[in-house]
Amino acid sequence: MNHYERFLELHAAGFVMPNAWDGTSALLLAQAGFQAIGSSSAALASALGRLDGRHALTREEHLANAVLMQRLTDLPINGDFEDGYGESPEDVARTVQMAIDAGLAGIGIEDTSADPAAPIRDFDDAVARVRAAAKVAKGRIVLTGRTDNYLQGRPDLDDTIRRLTAFADVGADVLYAPYPTDLAAVSAIVKAVAPKPVNVVVGAATQIVPVAELLALGVRRISMGVALYSRAMTAFRDAARQLASGDIAAATAGMSFREIKQLIADANAR
């Protein structure tokens, strides 16, 4: 199977899709046995010293990052492409085509607007953009339709379900609303868009919930967002503090650079 087919098949039983931000983080996830990886616009922006937000990164930077991770790991990569990079549905369709041409397995399109006064696009506009993406994506890349209601401080379950069901109706393969307030909301979303699969990101309502419980609710994809990047930065912060206190041994404990180099060398030799 190609990357698209492999990625689509994973959604049948459910799986964890961790998010990486560079080649080495992707390789470590592949080494751990994960079968697909998501990119993270927030983690990549932070790694480059930029604040996450609409178009903190260019479309080309996002694409190059995702392609790098796919080349190194030979795993399906789901691209986090924010609002699809463009004001019109045609612009969004062009972005999806670029992702297909690059060989990505999946792409997400969200309904954000970058307007602080109205951060979520009007319903008809949001649906039109997903419809345009779906026409290009069908049978070639897994399309995730996403609403950021909760992420933008609009915890409106009814509108969230209205948007997700509309995205499903116009051709989105997977539905996603980041950070619902509780598991009851997760369950309601799953039931509303069934039989299409739902992605849930680890957050306040799901962070301590075992994977098996989320899958039992009907969730079919569990992503990490920036959680792993934040964990890595926590470890780096702790090491920096240890070094500042004079404890070189504690600050430098961990895998050797030789191991990292070998990981990259093996990937490039395939």
Span 149-197, pLDDT tens digits: 999 999 999 999 999 999 999 999 999 999 999 999 999 999 999 999 9
pLDDT of residue 99: 98
Query: Could you report the per-residue pLDDT of 121-154, keeping only the tens digit for each?
Result: 999 999 999 999 999 999 999 999 999 999 999 9
Rounded CA gap, 256 and 2, in Å? 34
247 within a domain of the structure (yes/no):
no
250 within a domain of the structure (yes/no):
no
270 within a domain of the structure (yes/no):
no
248 within a domain of the structure (yes/no):
no
Token duo for residue 155: 């915890």
pLDDT(1) > 80: no
Which amino acid would we find at residue 198? V
Domain range holding 137?
3-228
106 within a domain of the structure (yes/no):
yes
Domain count, the chain: 1
Query: Could you report the per-residue pLDDT of 194-207, keeping only the tens digit for each?
Result: 999 999 998 866 77
- Cis before 195? omega within 30: yes
Q: What is the pTM of this model?
A: 0.95
